[in-house]
Amino acid sequence: MIKIENISKNFGKKVALNNVNLRFKKGEIIALIGENGAGKSTLMRIMCGYLPQTIGKVSIFGNDINDHRIKALSYIGYVPELSVLYSEMYVYDFLLWIAGIWNINDKKEAIISAAKQMQIIDVLGERIENLSKGYKKRVEIASAILHKPKFLILDEPTDGLDPNQKHDIRTFMKKYAKENIVLVSTHVLEDADIANRVVMLSQGKVINDTSIKEFKKVSCKNNLSEAFRILSANAKDKK
């Protein structure tokens, strides 16, 4: 289980997160949504140990992210919104390098397994710079699952991809979440539609944490876009 307890984050006088409390469990796909500046990326970076929280606690399967950092991070796979690839490298060499960082014993087996899941077997011998945006995103996700993390965090994984590529990424997320936890931050509300839970942030606070079915009920039209608009407006009115 992932526990986020009383997390707040300040950047000087700016409050990016304000007393956020969340728990995630095996088998969940959680869609993290909110307007720009809501605190989504900040929260994910804190969960990954990239940013320190101002106050609060993050526990990854019983391991405090600060006190037992190496153990906690071993459970996490993270794909940020901006590319983390080295374009001059070949796909296989890049994945081999990442597998070495994780000190994976059977690196070849791990690479082939991740490549099959992301359908990139055919491009393992290609330079990354020659790949399409969709294939680059697949390579990024493959690199994040080499060590078989129990908690996969994806920041805008389908942004800018074509419909077929988006479908493939969503299919992967559904499969991966059967035995693990997947947290996806997205502005593409169709991504949220595959989740079984929606967490909505606004101005650094959790304003909604519910099932996708209940989230849609906020809207009389029973759709994600309208529910998002209504909840965002309500949050601004309460400010």
Q: Which two tokens stand for residue 12?
A: 């000087």
Amino acid symbol at 156: E
| pLDDT score of 222 | 59
Fold of 2-75+149-238: Rossmann fold (3.40.50)
**pTM of the model as a whole:** 0.89
Is the pLDDT assigned to residue 220 strictly greater than 60?
Answer: no
Q: What is the mean pLDDT of residues 78-88?
A: 87
Taken in order 33, 39, 41, 43, the sign of the CA dihedral is negative
Q: What is the pLDDT of residues 6-21, one digit of tens each?
A: 999 999 889 999 999 9
Residues 6 or more apart from 128 whose CB is under 8 A from it?
A: 85, 86, 87, 88, 89, 90, 91, 94, 136, 139
Residue predicted with more confidence, 215 or 211: 211
Name, in order, each residue with C-beta under 8 angstroms of 80's C-beta and a sequence gap of 6 or more.
155
CA dist., res. 59 & res. 62, Å (int): 6
| Mean pLDDT lowest among 120-124, 157-161, 216-220 | 216-220
Where are the CATH 3.40.50.300 domain residues in the chain? Answer: 2-75+149-238
Structure-token pair, residue 128: 């990354």
